[in-house]
Structure formats: C-alpha cells, structure tokens
Amino acid sequence: MNGMASDRNSSSQEEYLPHYLQKEDPFASKLSREADIIAGFYLTVIGVLSTLGNGYVIFMSSKRKKKLRPAEIMTVNLAVCDLGISVVGKPFSIISFFSHRWVFGWMGCRWYGWAGFFFGCGSLITMTAVSLDRYLKICHLSYGTWLKRHHAFICLAIIWAYATFWATVPFAGVGNYAPEPFGTSCTLDWWLAQASVAGQAFILSILFFCLLFPTAVIVFSYVKIILKVKSSTKEVAHYDTRIQNSHILEMKLTKVAMLICVGFLIAWIPYAVVSVWSAFGQPDSVPIQFSVVPTLLAKSAAMYNPIIYQVIDCKFACCRSGGLKTLQKKSSLKKSR
C-alpha cells in the first residue's frame, strides 16, 4: 500500500505543470484592465511615499553619520533595504500593471524576483539584528554597553552576505523565479514544491532560514524584553531623573523596533501563507483574484517605517522638552532654596 501511495505521489508530481507552463503566454494579465489600473495607481502612491520617506531618513542620517549609534546604523540599513525595494522593484510592477501584462520577459522576471527577495530578506534579517540589539540592551546591560559601532558594521556585512546567498541560491539550479499567477509580477518559484522532492526541500529551506527562524528570534527577543520591563519598572522608579529619562528613551527605541517588526510581519505574513499554500496545498487552489491582494499588501511594507520614525521623533521631541522643563524647574528650586 505504501509503495502504491508513493507511486501515485511521484506520478502526480511528474504530471503537475505550474501555471506558467500551462499556457502559451505566462506574462499576460489574468486580471481585468480596470483592476490592473487600480493596482498600478496603488503601487505608484506606495512607491512615491516609500522613496521619499526612506530617502529622507537616509539623507538626515548622512548629515550625522559619524555620530550614529549602532542601533541607528541598523535603522539606516533598514531604510536602505526599503528604498531598494521601492527604486529597483516598484517601477517594473507599476509599468506592467498599466501595460496589462509583464513586459520585461524572463530575464526581467528573474531580476525582479531576485531584487524583491534580496531586499525583503535583508529587511527581515536587519530587524532580527535590531531585536537582538534591543534584547541585549534591555536584558543584559553588560553586553549592551559592549556593543560598538564597528560591531554594527560587521553585522551589516553578515546581513548583506546572508541576503545575497539566499537570493542567489535559486540561480544555482535548485530553484527559480517565476511569474505570479495573475501574470504582472514575479516572485520565488513556490510551485517547485508541487513538482519534486528537491523542490520541496528548497522551499522548506527558504521558509525556515528566511522567515521562520528570523521571526522566532524577533518574537523571543521582544517577549523577553516585555518580561524584563515588567519586573524592573518598580526598580527604575527609585532611580534619579537622569536614569529614568534614559530608561524612557531606551524603551521608546524598543517600541520603535517592535512597531517596525509588527508592521513588516503584518504586511508579509498573508503573502507567506498564500505562498506556502501554493507550494504544499492543492495545485492551483488559490484563486487568482485572491492571490493579488497579499502581494500588493506585501509591497506596501517599505512605506510604514518612515512614518513610524516621524511619529516617534515627535514623541522624542516632546519627551526631551518635558525632561528639560523638569530639570530647569528643579535647578530653579535649588537656586531659590
């Protein structure tokens, strides 16, 4: 019985053809022209806001590049990844949506898929590094004070090497990049898992090393931070004003990192779920009109971070002005006494 089941599975894998081989033109849009135009306008707005926002973050950081702390260096790297997604990837998909088909052929498809995966993986690994930095800073103060600027640059080199490796692995013959089912965008070839055991091993490796493992590290770091903060709140209340203010600023930096991670995961998890279902579920069971929504949501992830930066910067300004006022009041009281 087991032999018959395995024969059926192997025969079904051999008979399976992905969507881009079932039809003569895999790059023709499967959506209506009106839906493509709406998606094109949506991506244009997202691309412009993301480019301006992340470009502004990088520009302002470049003015004080010699004074950037390790956590700020990682934030700049995240803005670089988001800007790369907007500048390198968005124009391809915008032009294709307005053209009602993918107009860049297979070479453009593979380049677009590589760029999206490269910068997306770089963003997630950067956020993983930021979460570890916050964890060490809050939960292990000795390690937090040990981290210096050159450690941040070493970490950046590891992040870019990691993203380059996993984005380039498909070109080594164990994977590929392919058009999305709706035709006007390209992504990692998730449908290889339907064709062979080697394809399943490749997709599982990508899922573990580029999604599940980094996400688990992020969740672990922030859960430990939350537990640590709950246990140390009463202790901090007995410290003087300067220690309390520094603690408040560290916690606000941690909140920034948490908001960035939550926004990224909210944008990408629906796309990851649909991709996993396409890889291991029933072949072609995801409706085409449904598959485009998580894709568009994932493409908006690069827009959120500059908004979070600006909101927190305003809170920092209020916090600093409030702290200065309290210090001025205390100094004036001492003088009067």
How confident is the model at residue 134, as a pLDDT? 84
Relative to beta strand 177-179, strand 186-188 is antiparallel
H/E element holding 186? Answer: strand 186-188
Residue 126 neighbours by CB under 8 Å, 6+ apart:
74, 77, 78, 81, 159
Q: How far is CA 253 from the centre of its chain?
A: 18
How confident is the model at residue 151, as a pLDDT? 85
Q: What is the mean pLDDT of residues 161-172?
A: 94
Domains and CATH numbers, the chain: 26-313 (1.20.1070.10)
Among residues 16, 179, 59, which one has the least CA distance to residue 112?
179
By the 10 Å C-beta count (0-12 exposed, 13-18 middle, 19+ buried), 301 is classed as: buried
Partners of 188 in the β-ladder: 177
Global pTM reads: 0.83
Q: Which two three-digit tokens encode residue 65?
A: 């590049």
Listed range (55-69, 104-118, 150-164, 321-335) with the worst mean pLDDT: 321-335
By the 10 Å C-beta count (0-12 exposed, 13-18 middle, 19+ buried), 262 is classed as: middle
How confident is the model at residue 232, as a pLDDT? 66
Q: How sure is the predictor about 6, in pLDDT bands with cuts at 50, 70 and 90?
A: very low
Q: What is the pLDDT of residues 80-133, one digit of tens each?
A: 999 999 998 899 999 999 999 999 999 999 999 999 999 999 999 999 998 888
Instruction: Name which residue leads in pLDDT, 40 or 256.
Output: 40
Q: Is the pLDDT of residue 29 over 70?
A: yes
How confident is the model at residue 233, as a pLDDT? 57
How confident is the model at residue 145, as a pLDDT? 63
Q: Is the pLDDT of residue 193 over 60?
A: yes
Q: What is the pLDDT of residues 202-227, one digit of tens each?
A: 999 999 999 999 999 999 988 888 88
Q: What is the mean pLDDT of residues 242-266?
A: 72
Q: How sure is the predictor about 312, in pLDDT bands with cuts at 50, 70 and 90?
A: low
How confident is the model at residue 70, as a pLDDT? 81
Q: How sure is the predictor about 327, in pLDDT bands with cuts at 50, 70 and 90?
A: very low
Q: How sure is the predictor about 334, in pLDDT bands with cuts at 50, 70 and 90?
A: very low
Among residues 328, 284, 30, which one has the least CA distance to residue 336?
328
Q: Is the pLDDT of residue 176 over 70?
A: yes
